[in-house]
C-alpha cells in the first residue's frame, strides 16, 4: 500500500462524521430525555395513558380527566380524584417508560400542580416503589419495596406548584410512582414530574448523562435532528412543528409519535412525543457535544410511504385529494398549512437560532437562557422525499431561505433508495439547482456496503456535496425485527466508510441511523446505542463510527495498492488522511477475511517520522458477535503501540478487523 503523504488532497470537512437523532425506539421520552413520568399532563387523546387507578381505582368514588379551569389553555386537562372516604388506596400509579430507572442514593425532583376541591383532603402522599413481582398486576398497591416517600401538604383551592426532592434508598430498573390522597374529598392533579437531579451539565430540564457521554465520546461533527420520518409525520396534522417544542416545558403539547405502533415487547401502542426535549434542547445538546446543529424541516409533505399529504403550493393544483385532512389532532392548532407556512417556519427557526435579542424569535431563545446565537449553518429541507412533488416544494423553499440567509447551507433530500430512477432524476435536478448537499440514505445488506465502497469514486468533485445521512447494514432485511448489530454489519460499514473518506472532497457528512433504542421499546433494528432504564452500551457499529469520528484527520491523502487493485479487492479496504493539527498520518484498514494479513504501508515523501505509532483495533473472529447490556465490550476497540522504523511501515492486520493506525509524521 502506498500513501502519498507528499501529495495532500482536499481538506476534510469538520462535519464529516456526525450523528443522526430521531425520536424512534424511545430515543427521546424514555431515553435521552429522563423525565420518568409518562404522560405527565394528561393531554393525550388517551388522557390516562401510563396511569392506573390503584386496585382499579376502587377506593375512589369518581375520577375523571377534567378541563374545568385548567392551569393554562395549552395545558387544559388534568386528573380530578374524589374519594368519599379516606383510604390508603385512593390514588393513581404512573408506570413510567417500561418502568422507571431509579438509582440508590440519587436525588429526584418530584413536582406537581395541585388544587384542592370540596372535602377535607389534607395532602398528597408520594411513593416511589419497585414494581414488584411481574404478573402481580400493575394495579396492585404496595407490592414492591418503597424506595422513597414524601407528603405534600399546604393544599389550597387554587392551582399551585409543589416541588420536593426524593432520595432513593435502593436501585430499581423498574420502579413506579404512586400518588394517594390523604383524607376524603376532591383533589385536582396536573403536570406530575419526577426528574433526576443528575442530568448532563446538571440542568433542570437536562438529559440522561450516560447517553450524552456516549455521544460526546464520539467527537461528532454534527447532530442532525429531530429525524427521520417524524419530521414528516404520517399526515400533515402530525408533522413535527418545532415552534410547539420551545418555551415553558409544562406548556408543550404532546403529540402522538409517528412510530407509535405495536412494539415487539408490547402489543398496545403507547408512544408519543412530550417535546420536553425540544428544539432549544437539541441546539443546546449540539453545543454541549461540540457538534454543528443540523435541523431537518418538513418541506410541506407528509411521509410518502403513508398518507403523502401535500401542502398546497401557490398557483399549483398539486394539493388535490392529498391536501391535509380538515380535522386536527387533539389540542393542535387547526391549521391548513400551505407551503408558505413551512417556509415561514424555516425562516423563523433560523431567527430563533441566530437572531439578536431584538428579533421576535431570537428573543425567545434569549428568554430561554441562551443570549448568544447557536450559530446555525445548515438546515435540511425535507426528509427522505422524492419526485416532482418534492422538487416543486423544495425549489421555492430553498430560494426563500437563500434570499434571506444567503450563507445558509441547505441539505436537500433524495428519497429512500440510492439506486432508483426517481432518485437519479431528483439528484440531477438538485445538482442543477446548485443544492449544497444531498442527503442520501442506504439501508442494505452488509455485502452491499462492501461492494459499494467505490460509490463516490466518479462523483463530481465540484458542485453539490453528499451527506450520507442515514445508513446501516441490515443483517436480515430492512425493517426486519431480527436484524442484529453484528460484527459483520459493523465491519462492512467500516469498509464502506473507507470509500467515504477517500472521497471526502465530495462527501462532507455521514451518520449511522437510527442512533438509539430502548431494549424494551423499539420498532426498528439495528440501532447504534442500546439502553434500558439504567444502563447503556455501544454496539460494534458504534465503535466503528467512533473510530472514524475520533480520527477524522484534516486533509485527504491519496492511497493506492502496489498491484493497482481497487479498494476492497481481496477484502482489503483502506483510506488515509493527515492530521495537520497533531502532525500525524492516519491510516484506516479493514481486513474482511478470516486470516491475519501482513501489510506494508509506504509513506511516500513522509518527513519527521516518529519511532512509534498507535494502533486501535476492533476485531472479532465471529462475524455474528454482538454487544449486549451484560457484555457491552464483547466487540470493542483495543489500543496498542507499534514500531515505526522507516517510511515502509509493516503491520499485521488481525482476521476480520478494522484498524486505525496513527503515525507521527508529515
Chain residues that interact with ligand AHR, rule: CB under 6 A: 22, 24, 227-229, 383-384, 416, 441, 470, 513-514, 524
Least distance (Å) between residue 268 CB and ligand AHR = 22
Which of 375-398 are b and which e, b meaning 16 or more Cβ less than 10 Å from the residue's Cβ? ebbbbbbbbbbbeebbbbbbbebb
Least distance (Å) between residue 240 CB and ligand AHR = 11
Least distance (Å) between residue 469 CB and ligand AHR = 8
10 Å CB burial of residue 534 (0-12, 13-18, 19+) is: middle
| 473/384 Cα distance (integer angstroms) | 18
Decide: 76 and 251 in contact? Cβ < 8 Å: no
| 613/606 Cα distance (integer angstroms) | 14
| 302/324 Cα distance (integer angstroms) | 9
**447 classed as catalytic:** no
Q: Which residue is nearest to ligand AHR (CB)?
A: 228
The set of cell numbers assigned to 244 is: 410547539
The set of cell numbers assigned to 332 is: 393542535
Phi and psi angles of residue 435, each rounded to the nearest 5 degrees, phi first: -60, 140
How many contiguous H segments (helices) and E segments (strands) does the chain have?
Answer: 10, 34
| 109/161 Cα distance (integer angstroms) | 13
Cα 71 to chain centroid, rounded: 31
Decide: 575 and 498 in contact? Cβ < 8 Å: yes
- Torsion sign, CA atoms 603, 608, 609, 613: negative
Residues 6+ apart with CB under 8 A from 573: 450, 453, 494, 495, 498, 499, 567, 589, 590, 592
Query: Closest Cα partner for 529 from 17, 15, 27, 18?
Result: 27
Decide: 71 and 42 in contact? Cβ < 8 Å: no
Q: Work out the number of other CB atoms within 10 angstroms of the CB of residue 610.
A: 14
Phi and psi angles of residue 300, each rounded to the nearest 5 degrees, phi first: 105, 25
Angle between helices 339-354 and 387-404 (to 10 degrees): 40
Least distance (Å) between residue 599 CB and ligand AHR = 35
CA distances from 116 to 76, 109, 154, 584, 647 (A): 17, 22, 10, 68, 80
- In 546-637, at which residue ranges do the beta strands (DSSP E only) sit? 555-557, 559-560, 572-579, 584-591, 597-604, 612-619
Give the single-character DSSP code of 155. -
Among candidate residues 129, 238, 384, 436, the one labeled active-site is: 384
- In 249-350, at which residue ranges do the beta strands (DSSP E only) sit? 255-256, 272-273, 292-297
Residues 6+ apart with CB under 8 A from 134: none
Which residues are tagged catalytic? 384
Amino acid at each position: 500500500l502506498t500513501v502519498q503523504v507528499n501529495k495532500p488532497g482536499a481538506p476534510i470537512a469538520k462535519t464529516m462524521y456526525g450523528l443522526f437523532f430521531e425520536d424512534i425506539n424511545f430515543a427521546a421520552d424514555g431515553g435521552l430525555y429522563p423525565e420518568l413520568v409518562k404522560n405527565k399532563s394528561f393531554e393525550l387523546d388517551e388522557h390516562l395513558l401510563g396511569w392506573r387507578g390503584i386496585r382499579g381505582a376502587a377506593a375512589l368514588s369518581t375520577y375523571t380527566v377534567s378541563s374545568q379551569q385548567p392551569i393554562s389553555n395549552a395545558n387544559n386537562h388534568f386528573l380530578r380524584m374524589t374519594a368519599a372516604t379516606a383510604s390508603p388506596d385512593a390514588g393513581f400509579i404512573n408506570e413510567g417508560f417500561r418502568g422507571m430507572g431509579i438509582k440508590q442514593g440519587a436525588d429526584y425532583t418530584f413536582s406537581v400542580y395541585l388544587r384542592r376541591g370540596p372535602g377535607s383532603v389534607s395532602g398528597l402522599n408520594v411513593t416511589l416503589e419497585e414494581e414488584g413481582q411481574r404478573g402481580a398486576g400493575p394495579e396492585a398497591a404496595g407490592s414492591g419495596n418503597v424506595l422513597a416517600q414524601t407528603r405534600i401538604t399546604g393544599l389550597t383551592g387554587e392551582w399551585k406548584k409543589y416541588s420536593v426532592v426524593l432520595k432513593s434508598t435502593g436501585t430499581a430498573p423498574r420502579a413506579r410512582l404512586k400518588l394517594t390522597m390523604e383524607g376524603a374529598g376532591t383533589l385536582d392533579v396536573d403536570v406530575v414530574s419526577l426528574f433526576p437531579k443528575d442530568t448532563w451539565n446538571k440542568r433542570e430540564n437536562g438529559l440522561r448523562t450516560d447517553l450524552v457521554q456516549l455521544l460526546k465520546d464520539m467527537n461528532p461533527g454534527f447532530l442532525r435532528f429531530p429525524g427521520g420520518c417524524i419530521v414528516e409525520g404520517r399526515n400533515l396534522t402530525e408533522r413535527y412543528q418545532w415552534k410547539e417544542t420551545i418555551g415553558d416545558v409544562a406548556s408543550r403539547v404532546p403529540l402522538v409519535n409517528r412510530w407509535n405502533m405495536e412494539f415487539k415487547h408490547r402489543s398496545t401502542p403507547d408512544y408519543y412525543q412530550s417535546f420536553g426535549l425540544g428544539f432549544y434542547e437539541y441546539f443546546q445538546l449540539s453545543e454541549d457535544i461540540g457538534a454543528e446543529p443540523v435541523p431537518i424541516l418538513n418541506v410541506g409533505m407528509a411521509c410518502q410511504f403513508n398518507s403523502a399529504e401535500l401542502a398546497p403550493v401557490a398557483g399549483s393544483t398539486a394539493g388535490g385529494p392529498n391536501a391535509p385532512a380538515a380535522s386536527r389532532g387533539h389540542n393542535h392548532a387547526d391549521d391548513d398549512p400551505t407551503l408558505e407556512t413551512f417556509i415561514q417556519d424555516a425562516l423563523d427557526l433560523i431567527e430563533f437560532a441566530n437572531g439578536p435579542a431584538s428579533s421576535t424569535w431570537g428573543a425567545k431563545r434569549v428568554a430561554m437562557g441562551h443570549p448568544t446565537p447557536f450559530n446555525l449553518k445548515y438546515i435540511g429541507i425535507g426528509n427522505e422525499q422524492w419526485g416532482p412533488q418534492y422538487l416543486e416544494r423544495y425549489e421555492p423553499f430553498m430560494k426563500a431561505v437563500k434570499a434571506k440567509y444567503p450563507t445558509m447551507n441547505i441539505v436537500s433530500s433524495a428519497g429512500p433508495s440510492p439506486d432508483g430512477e426517481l432518485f437519479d432524476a431528483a439528484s440531477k435536478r438538485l445538482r442543477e439547482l446548485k443544492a449544497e448537499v444531498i442527503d442520501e440514505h442506504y439501508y442494505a445488506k452488509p455485502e452491499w456496503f462492501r461492494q459499494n465502497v467505490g460509490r463516490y469514486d466518479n462523483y463530481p468533485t465540484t458542485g453539490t456535496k453528499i451527506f450520507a445521512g442515514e445508513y446501516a447494514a441490515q443483517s436480515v432485511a430492512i425493517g426486519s425485527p431480527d436484524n442484529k448489530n453484528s460484527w459483520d454489519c459493523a465491519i462492512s460499514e467500516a469498509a464502506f466508510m473507507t470509500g467515504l473518506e477517500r472521497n471526502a472532497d465530495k462527501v462532507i457528512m455521514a451518520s449511522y441511523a437510527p442512533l438509539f433504542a430502548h431494549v424494551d421499546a423499539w420498532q426498528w433494528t439495528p440501532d447504534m446505542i442500546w439502553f434500558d432504564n439504567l444502563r447503556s452500551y455501544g454496539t460494534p457499529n458504534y465503535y466503528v463510527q467512533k473510530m472514524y469520528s475520533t480520527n477524522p484527520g484534516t486533509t485527504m491523502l491519496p492511497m493506492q495498492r502496489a498491484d493497482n487493485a481497487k479498494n476492497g479487492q481481496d477484502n482489503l479496504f483502506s483510506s488515509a488522511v493527515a492530521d495537520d493539527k497533531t502532525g500525524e498520518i492516519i491510516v484506516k484498514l479493514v481486513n474482511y477475511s478470516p486470516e491475519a494479513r501482513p501489510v506494508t504501508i509506504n509513506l511516500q515523501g513522509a518527513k519527521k517520522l516518529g519511532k512509534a505509532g498507535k494502533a486501535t483495533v476492533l476485531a472479532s473472529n465471529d462475524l455474528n458477535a454482538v454487544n449486549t447490556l451484560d457484555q457491552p465490550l464483547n466487540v470493542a476497540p483495543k489500543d496498542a503501540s507499534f514500531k515505526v522504523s522507516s517510511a515502509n511501515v509493516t503491520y499485521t492486520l488481525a482476521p476480520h478487523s478494522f484498524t486505525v493506525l496513527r503515525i507521527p509524521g508529515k
